[in-house]
Structure 1
Amino acid sequence: MTQMFPVTLSGATARRQGQTLVGPVDLTLDGGGTCVVIGPNGSGKTTLLRLLHGAARLSTGRIDWACDTELAHRAQAFVFQSPVMLRRTVEENLAYPLRIKGEPKKAAHAKARDWAARVGLAGLLNRPAPVLSGGEQQKLALGRALISSPELLFLDEPCAALDGRSMRDIETILTEAKAQGTKLILSTHDMGQARRLADTVVFLLRGKVHEVADAKQFFDEPETAQAKAFLKGDIVE
């Protein structure tokens, strides 16, 4: 297992076309439990996750993992809000990450069938992935990310636009992954989901970390007026 935590961001900033999307951010995450990143639309949640994962480039500042950065990134996976589906069957989508790592076809497809059952897609193995429903595609994206046993999984709004039943299924998969030792860092706009999943909360506002706290403390007694207003559903800018 890769000892990747703690991870420390020091003055981390991301800019695009002259606009600051995130930063400067000074933050240390110890990898304990599930970290949920929340904040108003446009606050930089997606960009922060992409910076940590190495999918977005730092403009200034540093991100230091407890191990070599390349090792840390290889031990991670990322599930996007709108999952990318390969134009292949469900089984082939699930087997793909294993096949590109050199796992024999028979073993990869056996694991794919097992993971299809775990995420509730056992009856859809031969279905082309692009024609699945939104909830089914998100389950497939989760299975495809988890099949390689990542030590850390990033999820960007994993249940956006999903119905209650699909959200419950996704959260069950995430809870099981956490129980198996996978660290989770996710963003969400759903405060009910944040309350159910979070051990630590990072509250972003205007691209900066506004508050970091234990989940119970944050939801029961947020420190700042902006956090209190956000939790009440007020517009915070």
Structure 2
Amino acid sequence: MTADVLRLDRVSVQFGSHVALRDVQLSIRAGERVALVGANGSGKSTLLRVAHGLLPATRGEVQAAPAARQAMVFQRPHMLRTSVLRFVVWGLWLQGVAWRRAHVQAAVALHRVGLHDLAERSARTLSGGQQQRLALARAWALQPDVVLLDEPTSSLDPHAKREVERLVSDWFSAAGTTLLFSSHNLGQVKRLATRVIYLEAGRVMADLSVDHFFNQSLVHSHPEAHLFLKGELV
């Protein structure tokens, strides 16, 4: 059997009186491509941040495989006041990669995402799509075993969305890396995911293969997810 690289054991997250996650029980196996879907406020981003160790669980336990390296790309990645190349180099250096070696790995990563010609440009002057590709380059350069993406294309124009999605698809089909991502784009979920987790009010309401999730029989087995797919969720 394929080993789990990430496990959430009855995890709840509470901010004051608001419960963002409720008793989430979840295991992610190595090589899976898992999509988190649900309405705004359903807990997708909170789950990603808890899984990456950016938010503590109020209750429950988060377990990551000890040898598994993780990287996370946010919906709107923060650009440092530095060059495109140095943006990737700093990420590697902070992970213990020697400065000279970090430059070599960063250059390879920029070439992979088509930004090598912009290596000396200020990262903050890039377009939204280019900034997202740069964030992916920094994540890829770290050679992670698990990658978490929070709505990676939601703020991009159609051309930039297709380019970022292509990079993600190529990356994971070639490397066998584990992917956990949130998305409102159901077409994207169909193209990238092997498994879909539907969240509602912080609870996992459905955890299915991508084929089963988009099957019409969902109306009987998971009525809440069926309403969500139809756009009729209140």
Ranges in structure 2 where 5+ consecutive residues have no aligned partner: none
The aligned runs of 1:144-159 (5 Å cut-off) are 144-159=138-153
Equivalent residue of 1:217, what SS? Answer: helix
How far did residue 217 of structure 1 move? 0.8
Paired with 1:62 and 1:161, the residues of 2 have a C-alpha distance of 32
Which residue does the alignment assign to 1:219?
214
Which residue does the alignment assign to 1:190?
185
Paired with 2:46 and 2:96, the residues of 1 have a C-alpha distance of 31
Are residues 106 and 8 of structure 1, via their aligned partners in 2, closer, same or farther at CA, if it must alter by over 3 Å?
closer
Equivalent residue of 2:197, what SS? Answer: strand
Match of 2:231 among 222, 230, 233: 233
Match of 1:112 among 102, 106, 119: 106
Tell me the TM-score normalised to structure 1 length: 0.91
Q: Is the 8 A contact 2:133 2:164 kept in 1?
A: yes
Ranges in structure 1 where 5+ consecutive residues have no aligned partner: none
Q: Deviations over 1:193-229 (max 9, x none)?
A: 1111110000001110000000011012323222112
User: Percent identity over the alignment?
Assistant: 36
Paired with 1:64 and 1:4, the residues of 2 have a C-alpha distance of 13
How far did residue 111 of structure 1 move? 1.9
Are residues 94 and 6 of structure 1, via their aligned partners in 2, closer, same or farther at CA, if it must alter by over 3 Å?
closer
Q: Which amino acid is 2:187 matched to?
A: G
The aligned runs of 1:159-170 (5 Å cut-off) are 159-170=153-164
Equivalent residue of 1:220, what SS? Answer: coil
Paired with 2:177 and 2:137, the residues of 1 have a C-alpha distance of 13
2:91 matches 1:97: yes
How far did residue 117 of structure 1 move? 1.4
Match of 1:201 among 164, 182, 196: 196
How far did residue 103 of structure 1 move? 2.8
Q: Deviations over 1:58-101 (max 9, x none)?
A: 00112234x34xx44xx100001110111100010111122223
Paired with 1:211 and 1:59, the residues of 2 have a C-alpha distance of 23
Tell me the TM-score normalised to structure 2 length: 0.92
Paired with 2:128 and 2:5, the residues of 1 have a C-alpha distance of 34
The aligned runs of 1:1-237 (5 Å cut-off) are 5-65=4-64, 67-68=65-66, 71-72=67-68, 75-178=69-172, 179-221=174-216, 222=218, 223-234=221-232, 236-237=233-234
How far did residue 116 of structure 1 move? 1.0
CA RMSD of aligned residues (A): 1.6
Equivalent residue of 2:110, what SS? Answer: helix
Q: Which amino acid is 2:12 matched to?
A: T
Structure 1's consecutive aligned runs of 4 or more residues displaced over 4 angstroms after TM superposition are none
Q: Deviations over 1:30-81 (max 9, x none)?
A: 234200000001000000111111111100112234x34xx44xx1000011
Equivalent residue of 1:54, what SS? Answer: coil
Figure out how many residues of one structure are paired with residues of the other and give that number.
Answer: 229
Q: Which amino acid is 2:27 matched to?
A: T
